[in-house]
């Protein structure tokens, strides 16, 4: 059974059963988790910003998330094979360089004021982050004792959430510094004034993304110079003891992995759908009745809750079985979505923001339960799971279509269904192969 036993590791350090201390390596790796969280969450600010710049409806605006997360579907499996060939460290460096190149492409995209070039830049950026995820997530999971892998990955993912907490506030200050004009306001503007306004708004993203590119390249150099431990995935054992990699010729043969991929699909879809609509949702007169720049700052509460939950989860998961914690959090998140759909004002506003707290441990916990015991198939399994992050492309797009038809408020029904599956995976789905091993 894939569950966490009480940790026997020394407090504040991480090591394998042979006594090797990996605290230094984990410290360096947390910078990666921070950066890709920061960059991914900036999409929540880009959506209302580019919606105004290019006069888009909700469906068209959700192409931002569709393009970004489609990269996970296309690039994840090739990334898994690449990591198996060149190793975790080289995969991380290539991923950082690719993401940096994507950030640089925002400059010509803004200069040309071209939505297709923006989407292309997002795809390149996301391809680099996909490779980072494929390499770094399983590396952290196997960089220590198998029974504490969920706690370890939750701790590093907490720094990912630190990035997602800071990004909306940063984006609201830098990118949404001017009040975003509504579709109705743009419609009555003089054509020349409208063109000047949209050009200035497009240019607002240039310097922030140049800065991100520089940071990614610097981290790539640091990683290249840092001596990371070389660990073979084939040496990994399951939390129940022993490796399961002799049971199948491919990672595709493990039912708990495939159900875990579905879990990642619906989790990322639900989390991204909620985050993508928050600025517009909180701006509604019946919900928060605030301007977009102010609403963007409140998005930090959503992602900040995830950060708090992951720090807490890294401790809780050493004492309570991960599946049970996962099921409880998913049920709580579903209940909060239902509350926000049935209410207005402050209750609706804070119930949707608090969901972040319960989202917190879902991705790292599903991930570690799904790769538990895969051994030499861990790289391929990681690619399959990261491919499932495409849920962040499809579910927000469907929610955008729903929002155009029935409004944002009731379009949140999709995340409720997503959380329902995660409850099942936490209670039963993750046990499939391991129970029979």
CB 183 within 8 A of CB 292: no
Residues forming beta bridges with residue 163, ordered by sequence position: none
CB 286 within 8 A of CB 344: yes
Let me know if residue 231 belongs to a domain: yes
Q: How many CB atoms lie within 10 A of CB 55?
A: 14
Let me know if residue 15 belongs to a domain: no
Comparison of pLDDT for 63 and 43, the residue scoring more: 63
DSSP letter for each residue of 71-127? HHHHHHHHHHHHHHHH-HHHHHHHHHHHHHHHHHTHHHHHHHT-HHHHHHHHHHHHH
Q: How many CB atoms lie within 10 A of CB 12?
A: 6
Tokens representing 174 are 């830098």
Distance CA 288, CA 154 (A): 32
pLDDT-based confidence at residue 246 (cuts at 50, 70, 90):
low
What integer is the mean pLDDT of 266-295? 89
Q: Write out the H or E segment, with its range, that includes residue 108.
A: helix 106-112
Angle between helices 63-86 and 43-53 (to 10 degrees): 140
CATH number at residue 375: 1.20.1250.20
Let me know if residue 159 belongs to a domain: yes
Distance CA 327, CA 138 (A): 22
Tokens representing 418 are 């997503």
Q: Residue 152 is part of which domain span?
A: 23-436
Phi, psi angles (nearest 5°) of residue 144: 150, -165
- pLDDT tens digit sequence for 380-428: 888 889 889 889 888 988 998 998 898 888 889 999 999 999 999 999 8
pTM of this prediction exceeds 0.85: no
Q: Cβ-count burial of 230 within 10 angstroms (0-12 exposed, 13-18 middle, 19+ buried)?
A: exposed
Residues forming beta bridges with residue 21, ordered by sequence position: 15
Look up tokens 């936490």; give the residue.
426
For residue 97, is pLDDT > 90? yes
At 414 the pLDDT is 92
Give the residue from 377, 292, 317, 237 showing the smallest Cα distance to 52. Answer: 292
Let me know if residue 431 belongs to a domain: yes
Phi, psi angles (nearest 5°) of residue 15: -150, 160
Let me know if residue 167 belongs to a domain: yes
DSSP class of 181: P
- pLDDT tens digit sequence for 336-392: 999 999 999 999 999 999 999 999 889 989 988 998 877 777 778 888 898 898 898
Give the residue from 262, 360, 354, 352 showing the smallest Cα distance to 310. Answer: 360
Distance CA 149, CA 238 (A): 10
Distance CA 267, CA 366 (A): 9
- pLDDT tens digit sequence for 298-323: 888 888 888 888 888 888 888 888 89
Give the residue from 361, 360, 357 showing the smallest Cα distance to 369. Answer: 361
DSSP letter for each residue of 278-344? HHHHHHSTTTT---HHHHHHHHHHHHHHHHHHHHHHHHHTTTS-HHHHHHHHHHHHHHHHHHHHH--
The contacts of residue 319 (CB under 8 Å, 6+ apart) are 4, 6
Distance CA 298, CA 171 (A): 12
What integer is the mean pLDDT of 127-141? 85
Let me know if residue 5 belongs to a domain: no
Distance CA 376, CA 207 (A): 43
Let me know if residue 12 belongs to a domain: no
> What rounded mean pLDDT belongs to the chain?
81
The contacts of residue 277 (CB under 8 Å, 6+ apart) are 396, 399, 403, 408, 411, 412
| Number of domains the chain contains | 1
- pLDDT tens digit sequence for 145-183: 766 777 777 778 788 878 878 887 888 777 765 555 555
Let me know if residue 135 belongs to a domain: yes
């Amino acid at each position: 059974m894939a569950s966490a036993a009480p940790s026997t590791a020394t407090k504040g350090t991480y090591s394998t059963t042979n006594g090797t201390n990996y605290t230094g390596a984990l410290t360096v790796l947390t910078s990666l988790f921070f950066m890709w969280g920061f960059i991914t969450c900036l999409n929540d600010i880009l959506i209302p910003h580019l919606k105004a710049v290019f006069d888009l409806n909700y469906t068209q605006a959700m192409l931002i998330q569709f393009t970004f997360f489609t990269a996970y579907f296309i690039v994840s499996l090739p990334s898994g094979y690449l990591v198996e060939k060149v190793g975790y460290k080289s995969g991380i460096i290539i991923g950082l360089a690719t993401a940096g190149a994507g950030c640089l492409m925002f400059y010509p995209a803004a200069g040309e004021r071209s939505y297709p070039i923006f989407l292309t830049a997002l795809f390149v950026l996301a391809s680099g982050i996909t490779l980072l995820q494929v390499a770094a997530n399983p590396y952290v999971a196997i960089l220590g004792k198998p029974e504490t892998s969920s706690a370890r990955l939750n701790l590093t993912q907490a720094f990912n959430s630190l990035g997602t907490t800071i990004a909306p506030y940063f984006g609201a200050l830098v990118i949404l510094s001017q009040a975003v004009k509504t579709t109705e306001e743009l419609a009555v503007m003089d054509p020349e004034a409208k063109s000047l306004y949209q050009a200035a708004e497009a240019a607002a993203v240039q310097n922030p993304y140049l800065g991100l590119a520089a940071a990614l390249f610097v981290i790539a150099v640091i990683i290249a110079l840092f001596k990371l431990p070389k660990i073979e995935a084939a040496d990994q054992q399951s939390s129940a003891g022993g490796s399961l990699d002799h049971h199948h010729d491919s990672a595709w043969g493990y039912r708990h992995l495939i159900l875990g991929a579905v879990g990642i699909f619906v989790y990322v879809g639900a989390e991204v759908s909620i985050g993508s609509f928050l600025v517009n949702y909180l701006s509604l007169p019946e919900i928060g009745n605030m301007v977009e720049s102010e609403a963007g700052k409140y998005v930090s509460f959503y992602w900040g809750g995830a950060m708090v939950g992951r720090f807490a989860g890294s401790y809780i998961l050493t004492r309570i079985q991960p599946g049970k914690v996962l099921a409880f959090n998913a049920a709580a998140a579903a209940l909060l979505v239902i509350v926000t759909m049935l209410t207005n004002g402050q209750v609706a506003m804070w119930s949707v923001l608090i969901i972040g707290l319960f989202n917190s441990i879902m991705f790292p916990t599903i991930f570690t339960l799904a790769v538990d015991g895969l051994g030499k198939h861990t790289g391929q399994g990681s690619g399959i799971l990261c491919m499932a992050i495409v849920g962040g492309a499809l579910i927000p797009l469907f929610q955008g279509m729903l929002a155009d038809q029935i409004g944002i408020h009731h379009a949140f029904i999709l995340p409720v269904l997503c959380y329902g599956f995660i409850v099942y995976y936490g209670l039963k789905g993750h046990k499939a192969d391991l129970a029979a091993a």
